[in-house]
Amino acid sequence: MAPVAELQQLTEIEDRSWWDEALCATGGAGLAALFFSEELQDIAAAKRICAECPVMVTCLEGALDRREPWGVWGGQLFLNGRILASKRRRGRPPKVARIEDELPEIPIPEHLRSA
């Protein structure tokens, strides 16, 4: 399910008043696909959008509470309800690091670090 549609379904079970300010809600399906992509450059692009999003902390709190199974939420990459610190491209690592494979590091707010 696309993140926009998934997030909109959540309006009935939690306070979603912050959703109006969500940057990922403004770009349509093409933008939404970045947030659930397996491609490192897409994940990096999604994280960069989150870094500019005014509701990033609220979004991350909700994603942790819901134990999101996957995707980029609140500037972090999730898998099975947990934040992944890093992700590698499939296959053998390149001899020379690719700049496009580097994911932006977005600090996790202190009150959420143990989650």
Closest separation in Å from C-beta 93 to ligand SF4: 28
Q: Is 49 in the site for ligand SF4 (CB under 6 A)?
A: yes
Nearer to ligand SF4, 56 or 108 (CB): 56
Give the DSSP H/E element, type plus range, for residue 57: helix 56-66
How far apart are the C-alpha atoms of 10 and 44, rounded to whole Å? Answer: 25
C-alpha 65: how far from chain center? 14
* Three-class DSSP category at 112: helix
Please give the residues from 55 up to 74 whose contact with ligand SF4 meets the rule CB under 6 A: 55-56, 59, 73-74
Q: Is 83 in the site for ligand SF4 (CB under 6 A)?
A: no
Nearer to ligand SF4, 50 or 108 (CB): 50
Angle in degrees, CA 62, 3, 72, rounded to 5? 65
- Interface residues toward ligand SF4, by CB under 6 A: 22-24, 35, 49-50, 53, 55-56, 59, 73-75
